[in-house]
Amino acid sequence: MTTEPGRNVFSKALEVSISSTEKITKCFSFLLLVLISATVLAGVISRYIFNSALTWTEELAAWTFFWLICMAIINGHIGNNHISIDLLNNYLPRSGQKLKQLVVTVIVCFSTLMLLSASWEFLNLIGGKNVSLGISNAIKVAPLPIVCIISFIFILGQKLEGISDLLIRLCAFVVSLSMWILIDYGDSFPQYDVQPSLMMAIIFVICIALGAPISFSMILATFTATASADLLPPPAVVQNMVAGGGKFILLAIPFFLSAGYLMNIGGLSNRMLDFASTLVSQYRGGLAKVNIINSLLIGGISGSSGADAASTTKVLVPEMEKRGYDAAFSCAVTASSAVLPNIIPPAITMLVLASVADISIAKLFVAGLGPGLLIAILMLVVVQIMAKRRGYESGTEKCTAKQRLKAFLHAFPALLLVIWIIGGIRFGIVTATEAGVVGMIWAVFLGAAVYREYGLKDLYTALTESAVDAGLIGFLIAVSTPFAWVMIADQVPQQIVSWAANMNLGQSGFLIVISCCMLVLGTFMDVSVTILIAVPLFLPLAKMTGIDLSLFGIVVILGAIMGNITPPVGILVFISSSIARIPPSKVFVEVLPFLLSIMVGILMVIYNEWICTGLWTLLN
């Protein structure tokens, strides 16, 4: 009789502790994003208005972004935001699910303990001061062990579903701690006569198949492979992470994400939607075509496929159903067209790829316009055929030139952002990061000051969500850096290049092989994760065969984005179907013609290189 009140007190105390930590963490992430924005903006103003460069701004912004990446370790546990692929859960009995939960928690706990130990050791090895900032270099890495410790509050206590759930997590923590103490204090790691990259790949695949977060699967696989082969000491793994997550170009990610969020809540997305409607609503299947054109236009603003799929499903799918479209087809159009923000600048995937492959972001942005427009046209053709065959929506009265002009003028402030980003970066006026921060400020100005669509609370929420999402992407990039280093050190890319040379397929053949490999990987993993793993392998092959790197980058992205609408992951299908409450299986069937159109688009791009490179050549 006395245990139940005690449990209630314990549960309430745990809930209060988690809730308070969550609020503090998100608030701190928001403040970090504001600091990053203010720092980069100060650099832009000093350079272009006062003609005096502030040498410390880039360094401070990069440091601050790494702190935001550290916060992502905690933020990812809040609401289970760390990317994972749960392939087994639906096929396991309840006892099997509990066992899997135990194993996954062990993976996360043990990975976190290894990262904590290695980061603390690395922190003690760092010496000297940063020349630009005049402060100790250790301050940049200092948050990493701290957030690892705090994250255990969420690993062990978040969303408990009873005493059995708590016991499973405590058991997992004890097992992980015992393993860590045995290895750390024993000063030895089991040695295996296995190629490090092979061991890393096996551990990684097993972990993600079990449903462990991809980032922690990478951490466990990398630490295990490097330690067992004496390939890299743990502090050096952390050093690789810091280097991978501290690149200045990555700062564009939170800025473009924020601009996209602010465009949505500021009413600018609706203005773009109205403009798209005036262009094609008079034709058969007009609203489905509006759906595609809207994604094409919004893609140049948000750079986020997930946000596009969610917002468009909420706005357009119900209206499409009212006009007689099948619900599954409506979701299929929405999910398929939502791949366009991955290829239309300023796509987040392009920023990720540019950071990994050291490709010119300006050239990559320009190269994406032609293929993006081509795939949108192919999708419009699919809609035309399907609408005619099924008798969907015969069309409305044609809009007048005056109506189109009015809609264009309403959408023009948003379109200016695209012009600024592409033009400013291409002609060397600003970097991608500087263009991003100016675009974010422009979005705030339009939404809050001009159109007055939201207040300070909405602004705080949007920027906090952007900070969390940007940190999670940055964390993936950071942990993938030593992961890729192991493959390179183990000569895996060189072996692929040697194999490809013997195949003698030519540039087009190599690109087709690359796109097929990306499709297979993208079927099981997020686009960014696929890029982070595959690009270090295929990049030497592209360089060896003389393939234009912007063309290579676009083919890689196009191959990977097909996985966004392909089972078993098909994240865009799941987003759209869950919001519309339609079985995903029905949507996957309707997606097939659109998937075929993307494949046709990839082949056209591969065999007509000018679709990617022609505009860049023209601008030169």
209-242 confidence digits (pLDDT tens): 888 888 999 999 999 888 877 788 889 999 999 9
- Half-sphere exposure (CA, 13 Å, Cβ side) for 583? 3
Residue 5 has pLDDT above 60, yes or no: no
Which residue type occupies 374? L
Token pair 């690892």 in the structure block, residue: 148
Q: Can you give 437-470 as a three-state secondary structure string?
A: HHHHHHHHHHHHHHCCCCCHHHHHHHHHHHHHHH
Instruction: Give the chain's mean pLDDT.
Output: 84
Residue 36 has pLDDT above 70, yes or no: yes
Q: What does the pLDDT read at residue 285?
A: 79
Q: Phi/psi at 326 (nearest 5 deg)?
A: -65, 140
Token pair, residue 341, equals 């923000």
Which residue type occupies 411? A
Q: What does the pLDDT read at residue 2?
A: 44
Q: What does the pLDDT read at residue 344?
A: 85
Task: Band the pLDDT of 165: cuts 50, 70, 90.
Answer: confident
Residue 571 has pLDDT above 60, yes or no: yes
More confident residue, 346 or 23: 23
Q: Is the dihedral of CA 226, 230, 234, 240 positive or negative?
A: negative
Which residue type occupies 214? I
Q: What does the pLDDT read at residue 148?
A: 93
- Half-sphere exposure (CA, 13 Å, Cβ side) for 612? 25
More confident residue, 602 or 346: 602
Token pair 């339609």 in the structure block, residue: 582
- Mean pLDDT, to the nearest integer, of 489-505? 77
Token pair 């916060």 in the structure block, residue: 71
Q: What does the pLDDT read at residue 302?
A: 59
Contact status, residue 222 vs residue 197, Cβ threshold 8 Å = no
- The separation between CA 123 and the C-alpha centre of its own chain, rounded to angstroms, equals 28
Q: What does the pLDDT read at residue 147?
A: 94
Task: Band the pLDDT of 583: cuts 50, 70, 90.
Answer: confident
Residue 543: how many other CB atoms lie within 10 Å: 13
Q: What does the pLDDT read at residue 397?
A: 67
Alpha-carbon span 494 to 480, nearest angstrom: 19
Q: How far apart are the first and last CA of the chain?
A: 80
Find residue 129's DSSP bridge partners: 136
Q: What pTM was computed for the model?
A: 0.85
Alpha-carbon span 312 to 300, nearest angstrom: 15
327-384 confidence digits (pLDDT tens): 999 999 999 998 888 888 878 888 889 888 888 888 898 899 999 999 999 999 999 9
Alpha-carbon span 464 to 475, nearest angstrom: 16
259-306 confidence digits (pLDDT tens): 878 877 877 777 877 787 787 777 777 888 888 888 887 765 655 677
Residue 154: how many other CB atoms lie within 10 Å: 21
Closest CA relative to residue 212, chosen from 105, 70, 115: 105
CA distances (Å), origin 124, targets 127, 138, 139, 538: 8, 8, 11, 36
User: If 0-12 CB within 10 Å is exposed, 13-18 middle and 19+ buried, where does residue 139 land?
Assistant: middle
Residue 1 has pLDDT above 60, yes or no: no
Find residue 136's DSSP bridge partners: 129
Contact status, residue 53 vs residue 442, Cβ threshold 8 Å = no
Contact status, residue 456 vs residue 65, Cβ threshold 8 Å = no
Token pair, residue 52, equals 């005096």
Three-class secondary structure of residue 89 per DSSP: helix
